[in-house]
Amino acid sequence: MTPEALAELARLRKARDLMDREYARPLDVPTLARSAFMSSAHFSRRFRAAYGESPYGYLMTRRIERAKALLRRGDLSVTEVCVEVGCTSLGSFSARFTELVGLSPSAYRAGDHSAARPVPACVAKASGRPSRGRAGAAAPSRNEEAPQAGGL
């Protein structure tokens, strides 16, 4: 990798770190692009190439992760959670939450989350990261036996 490419990747990482840290702030592509010293269009293209999703998609994934944690606590309404994570539209928040998690925010909040309580936060964050490809799908745990090929 060239020194220029490494420097660009470091600037993109700086913008990604800003999204991870300041997800509740009103961040937009021009603000993020400025933090990476790039034009908005170039930043969007390079961010997608580096991380596999648009800057907005990445930011919303971080917001949904935090929303899941707040909803599991159960002491805030869905509207309060929406505002707390930096979303301005309850409808857009709910639609994106449902798209990534596979459940509406209200259904997720009403679910039983007692099994997740003993899991360290870092593990829960990594395993609970919303993803379009796995919305609503749960991977079998290591304690479960995998089905054997060839029947019973």
Please name the helix (run of DSSP H) or strand (run of DSSP E) that holds residue 9, with its range, or none.
helix 3-21
Select the more confidently predicted residue: 121 or 152: 121
Q: How far apart are CA 70 and CA 78, in angstroms?
A: 9
Task: Say yes or no to pLDDT of 147 above 60.
Answer: no
Angle at 24 between CA 89 and CA 65, to 5 degrees: 85
Residue 35 sits in the same domain as residue 77 = no
CATH of the domain at 77: 1.10.10
Question: Which pLDDT tens digit goes with each residue over 49-76?
Answer: 999 999 999 999 999 999 999 999 889 9
Residue 33 sits in the same domain as residue 88 = no
**If you average pLDDT over residues 32-42, what whole number do you get?**
96
Within 13 Å and on the Cβ side, how many CA atoms surround 93?
23
Please name the helix (run of DSSP H) or strand (run of DSSP E) that holds residue 39, with its range, or none.
none
Is 121 within the bounds of a domain? yes
Question: Which pLDDT tens digit goes with each residue over 78-131?
Answer: 999 999 999 999 999 999 999 999 999 999 999 887 776 666 666 666 666 666
Residue 15 sits in the same domain as residue 71 = no
Range of the domain at 12: 1-52
Non-local (6+) Cβ contacts of 4 within 8 A are: none
Residue 128 sits in the same domain as residue 70 = yes
